[in-house]
Structure 1
């Protein structure tokens, strides 16, 4: 059951291409690259109904997803990835996070995502359609903003569960895997809900659902320079005052939320080698900044460096962990009393 691939017997001059091909079959929506040409490793994959259990170890590797803004994005895979050994760096637009062994992270490939697996890594992951968890777009964004550490009760349980499932998947009888994985997905959903909504009982359902819709609206119109609290409130037929009250649950103003998301997208775009020919001003305009001077000041305030300095650092050191002061992850909804 499943497949196993190793580059051990592949001629040295063909290992990088062979390794890329094998990984592209396992992660068909990813752009796979082998920095430095160190294309060696072993890959095991087992189908469990709509889910795949995957284990990967070897030399340096990069997986990149550009994101899918269209309606088909709901079929894009979600990765639940646990680092077993070595260094793993995950960048999902907010900041780069280096995973310690035992740490688990959710990677939403419908959004721009990069996973750098450095020399000596060993990871285990489940690849599942993102719709299986039944989470809203806002919840998925919050779920992917930071790692789940093994010191937390849910993190310890999730890491052990995922590792055991991936290890035992090849020995499962035909038909057993699909049944088992349904229970596993249910448990992952419970753990995700626990992580996201530990104080959900204190947050009115209507406010939480409306806030999610507002945040989705902001994502769709992030590049519009006319995106303002007034236009957002008008689009949802609420007052500006009530809009500001909604964002009190996030402990941030709506204007600052919009600016933070724009800065995160600009930071991601400036780090792309394919965008090296674009001016900083053009990138700023793409994401709704009308003043280059204002953009530069806001970028420096948030990241302790200018946009040009960040671009030089990111292009010179693609594996850099991020700016000197990385963007703070967006936090779950807070209670009014928090």
Structure 2
């Protein structure tokens, strides 16, 4: 099938496409419509009461988001464990807004009936059923699951529930999502990518609001990804361009979610990176093997671009200058007492505005 006819080879991907049943022979429309839905969202089976099966899908891209307007007639669509196992690459969340008609959604043991202006989260990695009893129009965002920035257990508590436009965030997001889907094709690439990031952040805020007070999504649940991220940071401390954006991209999560992971431990990404760099500089300055290296060289070796900035944050952390620490550490084995104020780890340092403060 093709976006507007049946001339393209099966399996062709269309980030921006139009699928319409009008030009498809009636006996082929059900198959065509099922494949159009599967290419747009994820592999699905459908049942339709009328072989005429009228429908149109329009898709466009915004950064890593796919925005979809779907118009169709009465039908039922479902995604089974068999289809999920066969697919392998449909790790997406669909945020579906009803513009016309009603839509029934069942997932994770919950059912919800959405009316115009209401929307819901659907996880395409788990079984799902959707009922469209009347002609409908939906406007949807399709995004990689990692971008949403919530844990597996948290996502399970979001699905099968509706967000109404009479809630605070619902009243903001419902018209915004509808307008965004309608105008996505008008934005140039860089603007679209930036806007997509803001959309994901808004959805993350909504998810957090919905999950607030719900059991199970605790700081303990974030401990494993935090440990993995800290290991990644330790391996790249010498890189002066190590920023939250770089770290988030490497782990396929949003920057907002990265900050939230560290916040759950009472820390910030920037403070953690700076503290680890200071610890490595302090260790190296105390080593006799590094006696021939200048303080500036040691600072640069661990990601500090400015020697003056390094000296300031070192003094704030340890109560002495790097030169004083080096002298104290070298003399200590001779039986001289260590300088007062020297601690095994940095004291609390005022959080930098962002990691690149090391360039100051």
The bucket for the TM-score relative to the shorter chain is 0.5 to 0.7
Instruction: Give the C-alpha shift of residue 190 in structure 1.
Output: 1.1
| One of 2, 12, 35 as aligned partner of 1:21 | 35
Separation (CA, whole Å) in 2 of partners of 1:101 and 1:24: 24
| One of 54, 60, 69 as aligned partner of 1:55 | 69
Separation (CA, whole Å) in 2 of partners of 1:162 and 1:93: 24
Separation (CA, whole Å) in 2 of partners of 1:58 and 1:163: 17
Match of 1:80 in 2: 95
Separation (CA, whole Å) in 2 of partners of 1:56 and 1:118: 15
Instruction: Give the C-alpha shift of residue 151 in structure 1.
Output: 0.9
CA distance 1:100–1:207, change in 2 (3 Å): closer
Larger Rg: 2
**Contact 2:106/2:160 (8 A) holds in 1:** no
Match of 1:140 in 2: 155
Separation (CA, whole Å) in 1 of partners of 2:90 and 2:22: 34
| Structure 1, unaligned runs of 5 or more | 214-338
**Contact 2:94/2:143 (8 A) holds in 1:** yes
Separation (CA, whole Å) in 2 of partners of 1:73 and 1:131: 15
1:182 aligns with 2:197: yes
Matched ranges for 1:124-273 at <5 A: 124-197=139-212, 199=213, 208-210=218-220
SS in 2 for 1:163: helix
CA distance 1:173–1:12, change in 2 (3 Å): same
The one-character-per-residue Cα deviations of 1:135-188 (angstroms, maximum 9, x if unpaired) are: 011211111141111111111112112111101012222343222111111111
CA distance 1:118–1:175, change in 2 (3 Å): farther
Q: TM-score, normalised by structure 2?
A: 0.52
Moved more, 5-14 or 38-47: 5-14
Separation (CA, whole Å) in 2 of partners of 1:132 and 1:194: 17
Q: TM-score, normalised by structure 1?
A: 0.55
The answer to which structure, 1 or 2, has the higher relative contact order (CA under 8 A, 6+ apart) is 1
**Contact 1:82/1:125 (8 A) holds in 2:** yes
1:8 aligns with 2:22: yes
1:123 aligns with 2:108: no
CA distance 1:119–1:183, change in 2 (3 Å): same
Root mean square deviation of aligned Cα: 2.9
Separation (CA, whole Å) in 2 of partners of 1:140 and 1:212: 14
CA distance 1:38–1:180, change in 2 (3 Å): same
